[in-house]
């Protein structure tokens, strides 16, 4: 192998990104629950949502106009009432999360093995089926943990602001694209995230989600204790 050939081979071998922290989100991912019982307008929206869940009303123009006139927090309260306590979730037990991460690593590694083009299609379909199964297991585990903790609508943390989350996502996509262009310019080919990089990012993301959720949960419990009194039954 010539010097130029060896250099090109080394450059191409580096086009696989072993560790890519750009895959990890930044900023808080959860915020405290709404203090529904402490605000009449939120309590009214929550009660309207519970009524909608019980009676399944038709979505007519008047109902749509009413929804459009609500604030963001009132819409959230209405959605919580409409969804019911079954929709509340908490982070899955650590053992379940660890098993799912190992499954994710095995699937990503298997997907990246060299094989014929025809076989790759079946492997991709199989990995997709495993991913769907993992999502179902994770959802069941989060719902079970929420019931075990006795979560209510006033103690279950909410996801972060959608605007902030969307801006963070677009920013990460932009940074990853710049990273890809730099690798392409240097090596002549697009970079590929290694299985270890994807799973490492997923593990860091899981730790961050748990940290943010626990912090928001403790704040929600503190606010509810300070507020006192009855709270919505959801």
Asked if the model's pLDDT at residue 6 lies above 90, the reply is: no
Find the DSSP H helices in 150-194.
162-187
Residues 142 and 164 in one domain: no
Instruction: Report the distance separating Cα 71 and Cα 84, nearest Å.
Output: 20
Contact present, 86 and 143 (Cβ < 8 Å):
yes
**pTM of the predicted protein model:** 0.76
Cα 60 to chain center, whole Å? 32
List, for residues 79-118, the tens digit of each pLDDT value.
Answer: 999 998 889 999 999 999 999 999 988 888 887 776 677 7
Same domain flag for 116 and 50: no
Dmax (CA) of the chain: 79
CA 48/CA 41 separation, integer angstroms: 11
Same domain, residue pair 48 and 119? no
Q: Which of 17, 36, 18 is nearest to 158 (CA)?
A: 36
Q: Which domain holds residue 70?
A: 35-87
Mean pLDDT for the stretch of residues 158-162:
86
- Confirm whether 7 is domain-assigned: no
Strand 192-193 relative to strand 16-17: parallel, antiparallel, unpaired?
Answer: parallel
Asked if residue 144 and residue 203 are part of one domain, the reply reads no
95 and 167, same domain (yes or no): no
pLDDT of 160 above 80: yes
The arithmetic mean of pLDDT across residues 5-26, rounded, is 51
Q: What pLDDT digit, counting tens, does each position of 24-79 carry?
A: 666 778 999 999 999 999 999 999 999 888 887 667 788 888 889 999 999 999 99
Among 150, 175, 195, give the residue marking a domain's end.
150
3-state secondary structure of 98: helix
Clarify whether residues 140 and 164 are in a common domain: no
Q: How many domains does the chain have?
A: 3
In a domain, residue 130? The reply is yes
In terms of domains, do 162 and 222 share one?
A: yes
Looking at the fold, whether 96 and 143 belong to one and the same domain comes out as yes
Q: How far apart are the first and last CA of the chain?
A: 69
User: 227 in a domain, yes or no?
Assistant: yes
């Amino acid at each position: 192998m010539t010097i130029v050939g060896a250099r090109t081979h080394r450059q191409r071998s580096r086009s696989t990104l072993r560790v890519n922290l750009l895959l990890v989100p930044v900023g808080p991912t959860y915020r405290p629950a709404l203090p529904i019982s402490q605000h009449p307008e939120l309590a009214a929206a929550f009660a309207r949502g519970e009524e909608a869940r019980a009676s399944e009303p038709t979505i007519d123009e008047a109902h749509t106009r009413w929804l459009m006139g609500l604030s963001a927090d009132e819409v959230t309260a209405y959605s919580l009432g409409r969804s019911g306590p079954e929709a509340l979730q908490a982070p899955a037990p650590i053992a379940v999360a660890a098993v799912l991460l190992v499954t994710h690593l095995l699937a990503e590694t298997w997907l990246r093995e060299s094989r014929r083009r025809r076989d790759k299609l079946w492997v991709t379909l199989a990995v997709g089926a495993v991913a769907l199964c993992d999502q179902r297991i994770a959802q069941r585990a989060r719902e079970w943990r929420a019931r075990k903790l006795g979560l209510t609508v006033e103690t279950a943390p909410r996801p972060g602001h959608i605007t902030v989350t969307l801006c963070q996502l677009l920013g990460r996509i932009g940074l990853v694209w710049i990273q890809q262009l730099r690798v392409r310019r240097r090596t002549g080919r697009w970079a590929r995230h290694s299985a270890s990089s994807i799973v490492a990012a997923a593990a860091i993301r899981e730790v961050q989600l748990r940290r943010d959720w626990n912090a928001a949960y403790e704040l929600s419990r503190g606010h509810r204790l300070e507020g006192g009194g009855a709270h919505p039954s959801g």
